[in-house]
Amino acid sequence: MTRAPAPRPGRAGPDHAAMLRVDQAGEYGAARIYAGQLAVLGGRHAMAREIEHMAAQEDRHLNHFNAMMARRQVRPTLLQPFWHVAGFALGAASAIIGPEAAMACTAAVETEIDRHYSEQLDALGDTDAELSDAVVDFQAEEVEHRNAALAAGAERAPAYPLLSGIVRMGCRAAIALSTRI
Ligand SMILES: [Fe+2]
Ligand SMILES: [Fe+2]
C-alpha cells in the first residue's frame, strides 16, 4: 500500500522572492551587456539601432521588476555590483571582437534567459499571476532579441560554438548564483 508523501515543512511552494530576485538580476545584467556593446559600437554602427531597441526593452523589463521588488520588499541580489561590471564587460568585450560576436553574445544570453523563464513559468504554475504575466510578456521579447541576433549574423562570429558555449555557461552560473545570493 502506498502512502502520500508527508508535507515538507517550510516548502509551501515556489520561493517567489528568490524568483523575482533572479529575474531582476537577469534583466539588470542584460541592460548592462547592451550598454557595454553600445559603448563600443557607438551610434554610428549599423547594428547600433537594433541594439538600442533591445536595450530600451530591457529597461522596461528591469523597471517593472524593480517596482515589483519595491512593492514586495524583496532585496536585490548581493551580486548586483558584480553584475554591473561583469555585464558591461561582457557586452564591451563581445563588441570589441566585432558586431557579429556581439550578436553571438546576445543570442547566447537570450537563449539562457528564455530557458530560465520557461522553467520558472512551469514552477510558478498558477501561484503568482502578476509574476507569470510579466515573465510571459518579457520572454516574448527575449525570443525576439535572440532571433534578431541570429538574423544579424551571430553564427558568423569567430569561434561561434566556443563563444556561445562560454557565454551560455556564464549565464547559467549567474542565474544559479543570483537565485541563492
Ligand atoms: Fe529582458
Ligand atoms: Fe533581452
Q: Is the pLDDT of residue 9 over 70?
A: no
Residue 83 domain flag = yes
Average pLDDT, the chain: 90
The tens digit of pLDDT for each residue in 41-53 reads 887 777 888 889 9
Q: How far is the CA of 51 from the centre of ligand 2 (A)?
A: 10
Residue 139 domain flag = yes
What pLDDT shows up at residue 49? 85
Q: How far is the CA of 136 from the centre of ligand 1 (A)?
A: 11
Residue 68 domain flag = yes
What span, in angstroms and rounded, lies between the C-alpha atoms of 45 and 66?
Answer: 31
Q: How far is the CA of 114 from the centre of ligand 2 (A)?
A: 9
Q: How far is the CA of 168 from the centre of ligand 2 (A)?
A: 14
Q: How far is the CA of 180 from the centre of ligand 2 (A)?
A: 22
What pLDDT shows up at residue 108? 96
Residue 149 domain flag = yes
The tens digit of pLDDT for each residue in 92-133 reads 999 999 999 999 999 999 999 999 999 999 999 999 999 999
What pLDDT shows up at residue 114? 96
Name the pLDDT band for 8 (thresholds 50, 70, 90).
Answer: very low
Domain that holds residue 124: 14-180
Which protein residues have their CB within 5 A of the ion that is ligand 2?
30, 142, 145
Q: How far is the CA of 103 from the centre of ligand 1 (A)?
A: 15
Residue 44 domain flag = yes
DSSP 13: S
Residue 3 domain flag = no
Q: What is the DSSP string of 90-104?
A: HHHHHHHH-HHHHHH
Residue 1 domain flag = no
The total of structural domains in the chain comes to 1
Each as own residue / partner, the long-range contacts of residues 171-175 (CB below 8 Å, 24 or more positions apart, any chain) are 171/108, 171/109, 171/112, 171/113, 172/112, 174/25, 174/26, 174/29, 174/79, 174/83, 174/86, 175/22, 175/25, 175/26, 175/112, 175/116
Residue 55 domain flag = yes
Name the pLDDT band for 5 (thresholds 50, 70, 90).
Answer: low
The CATH number assigned to the domain holding 87 equals 1.20.1260
For residue 150, what is its C-alpha cell?
541570429
Please tell me the number of the ligand nearest to residue 110's CA. Answer: 2
Please name the amino acid found at residue 126. D
Q: How far is the CA of 10 from the centre of ligand 1 (A)?
A: 31
Q: How far is the CA of 106 from the centre of ligand 1 (A)?
A: 11
The tens digit of pLDDT for each residue in 65-95 reads 999 999 999 999 999 999 999 999 999 999 9
